[in-house]
Amino acid sequence: MAKCPKCGARNDEDSDFCEKCGASLKQKPDLKEKAVQGKRKNPALAAILPLLIGVFAYLYFPNYKKFFAYLAAVIIAFALFNWAAYLLTPWMMYDCYREAKKINGEG
Ligand SMILES: [Zn+2]
């Protein structure tokens, strides 16, 4: 038995449309919309995160590939140039901002 997402009427499992109201039984628009909503990221917050938590900002998305890449870059930069590793922060802020926009489908 397939329950109609619109009116709650019971339909045959293999029917594509509700016998009572005609709504599609195959797609679940509410669920899909919620998933997209949950995936949205705040670009302003994303831009400020590297300033507060450094490379851990990438766990906000989460983008583990970039997290480990920047973690390695920061460690190497610290070993070679010491304080100059902080120069990576403005770049990561810009990059995180772009990442959030991309996830929201705005970039
Ligand atoms: Zn229905």
50 and 17 in a common domain? no
49 and 24 in a common domain? no
Q: What's the pLDDT score for residue 91? A: 94
Q: What's the pLDDT score for residue 7? A: 95
Q: Say how far apart CA 18 and CA 3 lie, in whole Å.
A: 8
Which of 30, 39, 33 lies closest to 104 in space, CA to CA? 39
Q: What's the pLDDT score for residue 30? A: 60
Q: Which residues are found with C-beta within 5 Å of the ion, ligand 1?
A: 4, 6-7, 9, 18, 20-21, 23
26 and 60 in a common domain? no
pTM of the model: 0.62
Ligand 1 centroid–CA 14 distance in Å is 14
Q: What's the pLDDT score for residue 38? A: 66
